[in-house]
Amino acid sequence: MKKTFLYMLALCVLGILSYACEGQKDNTLSKKEIAEGWELLFNGTDMSGWRDFNGTGLTNGWKAVDGTIQAPGDGSDGSGYIVTERKYADFELAWDWKLTHGGNSGMIYHVVENPCYSVPYVTGPEYQLIDNEGWEEVYAPAKLEEWQKLGVDYAMHLPDYSKMNVRPQGEWNSSRIVFDNGHVEHWLNGQKILEFEAWTPEWFVLKGSGKWAGAPEYGLAREGVICLQDHGDPASFKNLKVRPLPHKARGEQQIFNGKDLEGWELFGDALCSVDADGNLVTENGESGITSYLCTRQYYKDFDLTYEFRQEVDGNTGLFFHGFIDSNNGLHGGEVEMGPRGWNNGGIFSAETRQFLLKVTDEQDAVLRVGEWNSMRLRVEGNHIQTWLNGESMADIEDEAIGNAPGRLMLQVGGQSCRVLWRNFQLTEL
């Protein structure tokens, strides 16, 4: 009996120890998570893999302390942001967080880094982290707007408050973002609190009707770095991990419907319309300043063909991976188009204000003056190719343009320019 009792006791002790060992340590991945493709964004000991937004090092006070990433609370609306070294497109992101009384922070994703962007939130959507009640106590009589509260897709979508189980201030909470080819979910402590589709017509209406009406590039990037925010309050983070999800190419995309300018946005005062034959018409405005008619969405890797006819010679072209910054600065690459001698099919860089490739006189002679011409542009990674009327014009590699996200943009010269466009056919790769 005594031996049997001791044997059973030993089994119980081993069982207890085994159960205790099953509890996963902070900032580690289980075998199952590793098999599923999860990656740690914080190793628990130092700040490897993180740096300042738009920077090369870490200089703004964020530290690894006792197995957590800690924001010092010195940040502001315009400072205190750190980002991952790597970009992510489609992903599942999970983390634990803890705020001080009245604390304010956030998790921002698809952030585009460029010196023309002084803060990350003008490009990247944000999962808001804030102590709602504490903030209103600290900053009374100020009140938070609904779109500023915990768990929101900041200034865009509100959560289902009935599903929000927020732990008391000072305790750890767990959050998760799923971004799967435009389908977005916010989770809080194991409950899905928010779900929406990005880049739908309804999404663009919402974007243009509130805080982001003055931030034209907000939320358009389909990949970018992940960002943590120090908004002037100490905050702690641990168990940060991400699982990349497969990207699903959208295939053939209709960017011009032949009826109206739905899906396009104009920067400038050009005269843009659709004529009785279903051609898109771009003509210079009165200001004498070059304008741009831009797709509402970004396109990264694609194969595009279109036809164009210049009725009045002028400076025109098609920009790709392009955007206009808040100072009206132009960014991206351009397929050059114009009269003979204007390097039709050559590649121009708005960043360097120089041609990356000029065509030869023999190539330039392919242009049919005053007639319809066919242009093909293929961009895959850093590889850029063009064809004019079936003849190869450019075949180059350019990392700067390849890495930069952006729109397709029809250039409309500020003076003496009238161009007809038709038969846009785009396939996303």
For the chain, domain boundaries: 26-244, 251-428
Strand order in the sheet with 354-357: 264-267, 291-298, 407-412, 316-324, 330-337, 347-349, 354-357
Alpha-carbon distance values, 262 to 151, 184, 201, 265, 276 (Å): 32, 24, 10, 8, 16
**Residue 1: is its pLDDT beyond 50?**
no
41, 47, 53, 57: CA torsion to nearest 10: -140
Cis peptide before 141 (omega within 30 of 0): yes
Domain 251-428, what fold?
Answer: Jelly Rolls (2.60.120)
Q: pLDDT of 266-294, one tens digit each?
A: 999 999 999 999 999 999 999 999 999 99
**Residue 4: is its pLDDT beyond 60?**
no
Residues contacting 32, CB < 8 A, separation 6+: none
Q: What is the mean pLDDT of the chain?
A: 93
Q: How many CB atoms lie within 10 A of CB 152?
A: 23
Q: pLDDT of 97-152, one tens digit each?
A: 999 999 999 999 999 999 999 999 999 999 999 999 999 999 999 999 999 999 99
pLDDT number for residue 7: 42
Phi, psi of 58 (to 5 degrees): -110, 110
Cα maximum dimension of the chain = 105
Estimate to the nearest angstrom the gap between the alpha carbon of 45 and the chain centroid. 29
Instruction: Please compute the mean of the pLDDT values over residues 160-181 and round it to a whole number.
Output: 96
Q: pLDDT of 15-44, one tens digit each?
A: 433 333 447 899 999 999 999 999 999 999
Q: At 325, is the pLDDT very low, low, confident or very high (cuts 50, 70, 90)?
A: confident
> Which phi-psi region, left, alpha or beta, contains residue 136 (left: φ > 0; alpha: ψ -120 to 50)?
alpha
Instruction: Please compute the mean of the pLDDT values over residues 357-383 and round it to a whole number.
Output: 96
Q: At 249, is the pLDDT very low, low, confident or very high (cuts 50, 70, 90)?
A: confident
Read off the pTM: 0.91
pLDDT number for residue 150: 98
pLDDT number for residue 122: 96
Domain 26-244, what fold?
Answer: Jelly Rolls (2.60.120)
185: tokens are 């979910």
**Residue 9: is its pLDDT beyond 60?**
no
